[in-house]
A and B are shown apart, each in its own frame.
Chain A
Amino acid sequence: AQKITQTQPGMFVQEKEAVTLDCTYDTSDQSYGLFWYKQPSSGEMIFLIYQGSYDEQNATEGRYSLNFQKARKSANLVISASQLGDSAMYFCAMREALKYGGATNKLIFGTGTLLAVQP
């Protein structure tokens, strides 16, 4: 079973509008971390935002916010006031817990959502 599911292979959004990119995850751990990365066409992966499983507030970083719904196991990325430079592939990822405490070193990635911002 997929641990990270991104159901939107591609999306369009008009410049200056907000857009939500979906991510659901599957884990039986109580402790875990969730990440979003951006990958422009040039190829580099850029870390955007992090949400911990015990964080009570939704994470925000500038125009990026994370809509974290723990009971639904969803961690959707919201980009406000889209810009042309936001056109990129976006990946959701999860870090799980080790069996006896602490965090694994590995991240599990979804298959990504390609966002195209239209002028």
Chain B
Amino acid sequence: DVKVTQSSRYLVKRTGEKVFLECVQDMDHENMFWYRQDPGLGLRLIYFSYDVKMKEKGDIPEGYSVSREKKERFSLILESASTNQTSMYLCASSLSGRFNQPQHFGDGTRLSIL
């Protein structure tokens, strides 16, 4: 089974802090994704990466950056956290190139910015 592990289930940070959310997958997937989930808005893509050191902006990249130095690890960085970044953050990974490849998700991180 694919395992996607997010470093924290719950995180509380202060406004202005630099926040790191870590995600690790164990299936040698090329693609990794960061989403945020807010009530009534579904999942919105922040950034994704299709290879080491490669990244593409998603639908809502403002206020976020990412890092992928190793294939198995994808980090989401909030450079200067703000209260409107309080949300559920989900990491996912997948293989490339085929329609039937699902994305496999971690358990999510509930982030509160105070």
The residues of A that contact B64 with a CB separation of less than 8 Å are none
User: Would you call A44 and B107 a contact (CB within 8 A)?
Assistant: yes
Chain A 19-38, CB-CB to B under 8 Å as 1, else 0, gives 00000000000011101010
What is the distance, in angstroms, from B69's C-beta to the closest C-beta of chain A? 20
The residues of A that contact B104 with a CB separation of less than 8 Å are 47
A103 sits at the interface (CB 8 A): yes
The 26 sampled A-B contact pairs (Cβ below 8 Å) are A9-B40, A32-B99, A33-B99, A37-B105, A43-B88, A43-B108, A43-B110, A44-B107, A44-B108, A45-B90, A45-B92, A47-B102, A47-B103, A52-B99, A52-B100, A95-B99, A97-B99, A102-B97, A103-B99, A105-B31, A105-B96, A106-B45, A109-B42, A110-B42, A111-B41, A112-B42
Where the two chains meet, the residues of A that have a C-beta atom closer than 8 Å to any C-beta of B are 9, 31-33, 35, 37, 42-47, 50, 52-53, 91, 95, 97, 102-103, 105-107, 109-112
Q: Known pairs A44-B105, A45-B105, A103-B101. 10 more at Cβ < 8 A?
A: A43-B88, A44-B106, A44-B108, A47-B102, A47-B103, A52-B100, A105-B48, A106-B45, A106-B48, A111-B40
Where the two chains meet, the residues of B that have a C-beta atom closer than 8 Å to any C-beta of A are 9, 31, 33, 40-43, 45, 48, 50, 58, 88, 90, 92, 94, 96-108, 110
